[in-house]
Structure 1
């Protein structure tokens, strides 16, 4: 039997998917109505987290942050049965994930951080990506159950907190991607281009497909073999900022990138590949 604490959009759809697979699931949420709403699908809702986790072999968590996870688990722990595993899907700090792994082990329980790249629909459909790292015996034991929750379970090895670090790195990229798209839309608007035309361009020329190759080039540090010289990339950044300035439009990402480009050009890297600006991150 499973317990699930945290009935937000992700958690509630994880529970619905479990119920559809014939699982018995006990649920709790700080706002009790969100847990009660899942009773129509077959879940057993509780007002008290201690009662919600009683008799559960595994306790899944999808909450807000480190502090909330610690608070909720501390309150619920009076109901943990011996040998129970806590599986935390919350995006948290690396430090927090490591500390919880060790703390709950000292209390006789297993804690596994398993953050996800999944939206609510993915949780309902059991698609998307789930990350794990740490004790490989624990991961091997629980991988079959976790694999049913997601399209892809990715095991990053024995290092505690690695899954959390990679989740944060992935989220950073998503934040940067959205900010970049906002700049692209703003620049298109300056030139009288409709968002639908930008979407047509990206549907045909998909820059996202180049991400793995770009990352590989950066990590190989072959900056002296340019496909786009830094000087030329900086020239284009200037054109973008000039157009935005003339239209009294603010760009979020490009000015910061241009500043870093100028620093690397000043170091004598103008004729290197523009990705040299990422060199210090290696």
Structure 2
């Protein structure tokens, strides 16, 4: 028997996928209607979270944050089966994941943090990526169960909390990437360039393909053989900001990058490769 706590878009679709694979799933959500909606799919819904976990060997969790995970698990624990396994897919702090692993182990339960890079459709189709780290014996035991839920299970080794950290790093990149797209569209709007032309550009030129080489260059920590000097990158950055201001649009991210560039130029790095702005992060 499996229990699943948290019927948001991700949790609900995980449950649908489990049921399609033949699992019996008991579900709970803080808003009961979201849980009862899954009864038509074959789930059994409960209003009381302690009732939802009764008899469950594995309890999956997809909630909001550390506080909600701690609160819900504390309330649910009165219904835990002896030796039950908690698998938490919530994006949380690394510290929270480490603490929960320790505390639940002391209480006789296994807790594994397994955050995901998935959208609702990935959860429904069992695609996307799931991250784990920590006790390798536990992970080996749960790997068959976890692999049913994802396209790829990525094991980051024995360090507790590392999966949580990797999830935060990935999400930071997604947030930065999306904010960069927003600035790109703002500049296009200022220059009266239609989005269809932007799409055509990126259909032909994929800057995302540069990521591995850019990461390698920045982490190497050598900047004295520039492919784009910081002074020149800063000049172009000013052109972005001037064009946006002239066209009546606002850039959210670029002005902060300009400030960072100015700091490094003032420190004497203007003739070095512009990736020097990441030096403090890798040194």
* TM-score, normalization by structure 2: 0.98
Structure 1 consecutive aligned stretches of length 4 or more whose deviation exceeds 3 Å: none
2:44 match: 44
Q: What is the CA deviation profile of residues 95-132 of structure 1, one whole-angstrom value per residue up to 9, with x for unaligned ones?
A: 11111111101100010000001000000000111111
Q: Which runs of 5+ in 2 are unaligned?
A: none
1:235 match: 235
- What is the Cα deviation at residue 235 of structure 1? 0.9
2:10 match: 10
CA distance in 2, matches of 1:204, 1:20: 40
Assess if the C-alpha contact under 8 Å between 2:189 and 2:249 holds in 1. Answer: no
Q: What is the CA deviation profile of residues 49-78 of structure 1, one whole-angstrom value per residue up to 9, with x for unaligned ones?
A: 111111111100000111110110001001
2:63 match: 63
2:100 match: 100
RMSD value, Cα: 0.9
2:208 match: 208
Q: SS state of the match for residue 181, structure 2?
A: helix
* TM-score, normalization by structure 1: 0.98
CA distance in 1, matches of 2:122, 2:227: 37
Q: Which runs of 5+ in 1 are unaligned?
A: none
CA distance in 2, matches of 1:274, 1:216: 14
Q: Counterparts of 1:249-268 in structure 2 under 5 Å? A: 249-268=249-268
Q: What is the CA deviation profile of residues 175-210 of structure 1, one whole-angstrom value per residue up to 9, with x for unaligned ones?
A: 111110010000011111011111111121111121
CA distance in 2, matches of 1:228, 1:55: 61
**Deviates further, 62-71 or 265-274:** 265-274
